[in-house]
Amino acid sequence: MNSSAHFLRHTMAFRTVAVVLTALALALGLTACGGSPQVEGTYTGSAGTTMLVLKDDGSALYSQQKRAGLETGAGTWSVDDDVLSVSVDSLSYEIFANTDRFDGTLLFESDDSSWNDEIYTLQE
């Protein structure tokens, strides 16, 4: 094999390895910086009377069993800086949860005094 062919083959191999490593580094970087965890799904509240559905299109459904019957509401949700915010029409206030250590549970809180902080667990 002549030295030109040998050099060309090694150059091509080096370029291939460089491209693969660059793609891998970018993919890992995007995963690490991917932002918020996937929180979409159906959650049940620890009090046993509430359910929250977070859909992948940003819509939300909320239901609460009360003495007078089932109260339901629809609205939206979003995550910004590791804070999940939910706004539904059956609640006159926003509820929020921190997602930075998401493990399938979310502690929902509100600035409104009528809300009782509650842990919601993702159903599988």
Region 80-105: mean pLDDT is 96
| β 83-88/69-80 pair status | antiparallel
Is the pLDDT at 26 greater than 70? The verdict is no
* 23 pLDDT more than 70: no
Per-residue confidence band for 124, with pLDDT thresholds at 50, 70 and 90: confident
Q: Return the CATH class of domain 41-122.
A: mainly beta
Mean pLDDT of 2-16: 55
Share of the chain above pLDDT 90, in %: 66
* Tokens at 40, concatenated: 């979409």
Question: What is the reported pTM?
Answer: 0.70
